[in-house]
Amino acid sequence: MAMIPKSRLETRFTRRWMDYGFVLDEPIPTSVRRAGPKLTDSREAVESAWGLGGELGLPAADAALDKIWDKDGGNWQRRLSPFFRKLAPRASRVFAGLVRAGCQPDRLADFFAEASACARSKKSTERVRAEIDALQKLTRKAVEAVGALADRRRMFDDYVATEGLRIPEDEPGVAELRILRVDFEDFGKRHEEELEHLHRQIDGRRQRVLGHAQIRLSLQVREVTGSYNDRDVEAVLNSLFASEGHPESQSGTLKRKRARWNTAVSTSSRERRSFQR
């Protein structure tokens, strides 16, 4: 392998080390991989190589991951058979090329499955968005109703006091309604924030921090290989789309999505700096 600049090697190793740990510790959907053959846990070997320190530690640790990838060769293809059943032959070869470039196969397949699920979940996310909008409207109406009740009760008490009529001592009066109003306004605010957070999670176009699932995939590939490899990534994605009966995306789609995402992130950063001033 050609010499990799230290800064990029750090990025590459960090991404691969995180992906390796994720695959060993976290569940991956059965639609992506089978239970076996299992990936060997050789993290101690990587940590031992990293322990060399200095100029040797990082390259040795990254090379240790390469050895783990090589040892797993043949196993990951069988382990990921549910995922490969959805790929055309060319897409399978492209995926294998990304693995040879350093990507952890299980995690890469998981990223691809997540990114392609965006098309499959379009109908359900539209339903969820509609429900969120309805819940937000009902929450606002409920807050307004409690506020109107408190105002009307205050007006009633003022009128009774002006007319000199006796108010029974065991009635709650406006004081408790004022407390209820404040508490319910706080509840309504928290509820709307929760719904808005959910809205951002399901709507890739509004995820300014995490980005769209396809963008996360694109960034992951670049961190490992040093290039976005858009043509290869789009080939695998389109094969997954086709397997689900969805139209393929046009060439250059990932590049355009990254441009919009970068613009959104830059705008968000400027807004935060302006607010801090």
Helices (H), the chain: 6-25, 43-50, 54-71, 75-79, 81-84, 89-100, 105-120, 122-163, 173-202, 213-225, 230-243, 253-276
Q: What is the pLDDT of residues 159-185, one digit of tens each?
A: 877 777 765 554 556 678 788 888 888
Q: What is the pLDDT of residues 147-165, one digit of tens each?
A: 888 888 888 877 877 777 7
Q: Which string of b and e fits 64-74 if b means at least 16 CB within 10 Å?
A: bbeebbeebee
Q: What is the pLDDT of residues 187-242, one digit of tens each?
A: 888 888 888 877 766 654 444 333 478 898 999 999 999 999 999 999 999 999 99
pTM score > 0.75 for this model? no
* Residue 248 CB neighbour total at 10 angstroms: 15
Q: What is the pLDDT of residues 28-76, one digit of tens each?
A: 999 999 988 999 999 999 999 988 776 788 999 999 999 999 999 999 9
* Residue 92 CB neighbour total at 10 angstroms: 18
Give yes or no for residue 103 having a pLDDT over 90. Answer: yes
Distance from C-alpha of 247 to C-alpha of 89, rounded to nearest angstrom: 18
pLDDT reported for residue 7: 84
